[in-house]
Amino acid sequence: TRMLEYMTDCDKSYRVELTIGYETDTGDDTGTITNSMECTMPSEAQLEEVLSSFLGTIDQVPPMYSAIKIQGKKLYELARAGITVERKTRRVTIHEINLLKVNEKSILFDVTCSKGTYIRSLCTDIGAKINCPVVMSFLVRTRVGSFGINQAFTLEEIGAAPDHTLLPVDHALEYMPKISVSQEIAKAFKHGQNIPAIIDEDCSETLLRIYDHENVLIGIGQKKANMAVIIPIKVLISGQP
């Protein structure tokens, strides 16, 4: 549980269905319809071009029905009270976006994106580019960092064979650079002390996996910019992953 915050602090992948012809107050098909219009689905080539236009770093407006707080109130609380407020754009990154299937009124696509990306907002923006109101009609998260849905187990399967289904903690941290330290430095780190920065300058501000001389995960550190030390961020006192 001490590592949960780092398991979601990475890229994610989704499978998405977008349906054309109407839009809702929530951005998905569970909301109240606010607009509808007869639309013709663009050609596959046109859709491919529209989807590819979102690749890279983009600015995105979060939906009203989201957990972002403004002046201490969550947006979805304001939305349920009938209040709409201006939302600041957020910068997110779309790493991959691939069209899978085109139907008369819907499309299916896969997207890999940075944390903080709102897929409902992405669907809305796609709709704006094809000049048609749309909703997100299906969504499943297929990957978070190194965890893929094809490797998932049910709670029953985990209970029946925990040794087979459970993974070491550092499996969730593989996206972080790894460094190994001597026994003496590992002892200092586990006591919450800063340790020498034996890592390239390019890794400034990046979270790091710290291992001892026996290749056991002892915690997470961070090299601050313009400092020649690594600061302990999370320490596993027992030295066990």
Q: Are 27 and 136 in contact (CB under 8 A)?
A: yes
* Region of residue 62 (phi > 0: left; psi between -120 and 50: alpha; otherwise: beta): beta
Q: What per-residue confidence (pLDDT) applies to 241?
A: 42
Q: What per-residue confidence (pLDDT) applies to 18?
A: 98
Q: What is the pTM of this model?
A: 0.79
Q: Is 119 helix (H, G, I), strand (E, B) or coil?
A: helix
At residue 204, does pLDDT exceed 70? no
Q: Are 138 and 27 in contact (CB under 8 A)?
A: no
- Among 2-11, 99-108, 184-193, top mean pLDDT goes to 99-108
Looking at per-residue pLDDT, the higher value among 128 and 85 belongs to: 128
Question: Closest Cα partner for 215 from 194, 233, 239?
Answer: 239
Looking at per-residue pLDDT, the higher value among 240 and 235 belongs to: 235
Looking at per-residue pLDDT, the higher value among 103 and 170 belongs to: 103
Each residue's pLDDT tens digit, 133-180: 999 999 999 999 888 999 899 999 999 998 888 888 888 888 889 999
Separation CA 104–CA 94 (nearest Å): 26
List Cβ neighbours of 116 (8 Å cut-off, separation of 6 or more).
Answer: 90, 92
